[in-house]
């Protein structure tokens, strides 16, 4: 991030990855602490969730097979039915608890990484790691939660509308070749919209940290910033998520299904390392991309005002309003 602000928007797709890797390697000590305290537990929770979910679901399927072969009018059938109901309850409670803890650590990771890169960008002296985790991250985290909740509402409403459209399409579209083509394009349109919403949310998370807006205002701000850079953002989002899905699928195939304890441990460590790197790289990339979008729209960041904004999280300054903190528009 040592380049001039007017030069940043010339960074291409490959350059974004190279710049992000350069930031991580140049500040290994800072990011290593963030990894150990937040991102490593986040990755462990995710992989443990994959392992435990597989075990719970496999047990449910085994009992379901036994139930299918048991006479309905027997006591064993009733006991199996109760057992399966209990197992499904445990399964979904586990899923909910996992989602809560995963979301908590994800937002904490975003808080720490975005704030750290902003400090590096402004040449601001980094607070101690204790201050970062006890003063900065909790305050930033609250803003990110509000932004996430707005995104959750938007995604929920989007899915409700999509379900209604699919149901109505099922009634009015015939089950012939033309009908399947229409349904395919509707599904493709749905996936495109879903990716677009998630891209906006990820950039809005950075906006929520570095600007004085959050929630729906951050989503609107992110939507404006993404203009002109949507294709690059889409490629980055899909690439990172393909790697993420790839790690999950291959972990299930080669670790969860592995019988040898030693192989399971060695492969587990490998996948854990890959996941940690991917999460850290993704968080750094989305922050770098924020600065690129700012430069692309000819908005220069006043480093002194941004520094004051960062200090506000430590309680040293009263947060500035949007005209002070954010960003001067360069008229070209």
Closest alpha carbon to 211 in 312, 110, 109 = 312
Helix 261-296 to helix 216-225 angle (10° resolution) is: 70
Q: Residues 290, 203: contact at Cβ < 8 Å? A: yes
Average predicted confidence (pLDDT) for the chain: 83
Taking the CA atoms of residue 105, residue 109, residue 110 and residue 115 in that order, the dihedral angle to the nearest 10 degrees is 140
Q: Is residue 66 over pLDDT 60? A: yes
Q: How far apart are CA 19 and CA 29, in angstroms?
A: 17
Q: Is residue 331 over pLDDT 60? A: no
Closest alpha carbon to 228 in 282, 295, 283, 327 = 295
The helix (run of H) or strand (run of E) holding residue 298 is: none
Closest alpha carbon to 104 in 63, 45, 150 = 45
Q: Is residue 318 over pLDDT 60? A: no
Closest alpha carbon to 107 in 230, 311, 291, 279 = 279
Q: Which residue has the higher pLDDT, 235 or 180?
A: 235
Integer Rg of the chain from CA: 23
Q: How far apart are CA 294 and CA 288, in angstroms?
A: 10
pTM value is 0.84
Q: Residues 240, 17: contact at Cβ < 8 Å? A: no
Closest alpha carbon to 30 in 124, 128, 104 = 128
Where residue 262 falls among pLDDT bands split at 50, 70, 90? confident
Among 56-65, 68-77, 208-217, 317-326, where is mean pLDDT lowest?
A: 317-326
- C-alpha distances (whole Å) from 194 to each of 4, 15, 36, 67, 206 are 34, 26, 32, 39, 19
Condensed to tens digits (0 to 9), the pLDDT of residues 18-30 reads 989 988 998 888 8
SS3 105: helix
Q: Is residue 240 over pLDDT 60? A: yes
pLDDT recorded at residue 127: 72
pLDDT recorded at residue 131: 76
Distant-in-sequence, close-in-space partners of 213: CB < 8 Å, separation ≥ 6: 207, 221, 322
- Strand boundaries in the chain, DSSP class E: 299-300, 328-329
Half-sphere exposure in the Cβ direction for 114 (13 Å, CA): 30
Condensed to tens digits (0 to 9), the pLDDT of residues 127-185 reads 777 777 777 778 888 889 999 999 999 999 999 999 988 888 777 766 666 767 778 88
User: Average pLDDT for residues 37-65, to the nearest whole number?
Assistant: 90
- C-alpha distances (whole Å) from 168 to each of 1, 159, 165, 184 are 50, 14, 5, 14
The domains of the chain are located at 5-329
Q: Which of 3-17, 68-82, 215-229, 310-324 has the highest mean pLDDT?
A: 215-229
Half-sphere exposure in the Cβ direction for 87 (13 Å, CA): 19
């Amino acid at each position: 991030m040592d380049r001039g602000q007017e030069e940043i928007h010339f960074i291409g797709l490959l350059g974004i990855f190279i710049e992000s890797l350069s930031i991580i390697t140049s500040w290994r000590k800072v990011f290593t602490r963030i990894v150990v305290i937040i991102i490593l537990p986040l990755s462990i929770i995710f992989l443990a969730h994959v392992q435990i979910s597989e075990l719970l679901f496999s047990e449910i399927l085994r009992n379901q097979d036994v139930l299918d072969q048991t006479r309905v009018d027997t006591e064993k059938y009733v006991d199996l039915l109760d057992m399966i109901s209990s197992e499904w309850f445990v399964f979904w409670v586990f899923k909910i608890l996992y989602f809560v803890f995963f979301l908590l650590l994800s937002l904490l990771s975003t808080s720490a990484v975005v704030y750290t890169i902003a400090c590096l960008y402004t040449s601001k002296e980094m607070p101690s790691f204790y201050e970062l985790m006890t003063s900065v991250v909790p305050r930033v985290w609250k803003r990110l939660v509000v932004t996430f909740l707005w995104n959750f509402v938007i995604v929920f409403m989007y899915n409700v509308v999509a379900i209604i459209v699919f149901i109505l399409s099922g009634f009015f579209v015939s089950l012939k070749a033309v009908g399947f083509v229409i349904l395919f394009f509707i599904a493709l349109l749905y996936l495109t919209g879903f990716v677009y919403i998630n891209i906006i949310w990820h950039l809005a998370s950075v906006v929520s940290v570095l600007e004085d807006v959050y929630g729906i205002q951050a989503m609107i701000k992110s939507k404006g910033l993404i203009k002109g850079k949507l294709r690059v953002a889409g490629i980055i989002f899909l690439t990172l998520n393909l790697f993420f899905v790839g790690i999950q699928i291959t972990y299930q195939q080669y670790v969860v299904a592995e019988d040898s304890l030693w192989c399971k441990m060695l492969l587990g460590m490998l996948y854990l390392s890959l996941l940690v790197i991917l999460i850290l790289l993704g968080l750094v990339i989305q922050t770098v991309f924020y600065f690129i979008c700012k430069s692309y729209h000819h908005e220069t960041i006043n480093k002194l005002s941004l520094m004051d904004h960062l200090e506000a999280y430590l309680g040293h300054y009263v947060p500035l309003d949007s005209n002070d903190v954010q960003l001067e528009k360069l008229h070209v």
